[in-house]
Amino acid sequence: MKDRILNSQEFKSLVRSKNTISLILTVAQLFIYFGFILLLAYNKEFLGQKIYGPVTVGIPVGIGVIILTWLLTGIYVAWSNKKYDQKVSEIREKLVGGE
């Protein structure tokens, strides 16, 4: 049963699409995170500029990095719940049936 599912072309295609979306979101997250780190390393003056009172540009930028991380995670979860889980169930039902 398990081998039938794992060896089916539909499941392999689904795994490829899961790996693709995971890679895209991972690269986006790494770009955001390391972009922030590089900004800290090479342009401290920009991040240190005051916006209002003691609040500097670095604070909303850092919060933005955290929010974007949550957003990217939410995108993956929504995709997984809507497409991946449904497709896995369809493949399982199709290949295994009533077993």
Cα(77)–Cα(71) distance, integer angstroms = 10
Q: What is the pLDDT of residue 66?
A: 96
* Residue matched to tokens 């997250």: 29
Show me where the domains of the chain are located.
2-96
Q: What is the pLDDT of residue 34?
A: 95
Question: Tokens at residue 36, please?
Answer: 């922030």
Q: What are phi and psi of 92, to 5 degrees?
A: -60, -45
The reported pTM is 0.78
Q: Which tens digit of pLDDT belongs to each residue from 61-90?
A: 999 999 999 999 999 999 999 888 888 888
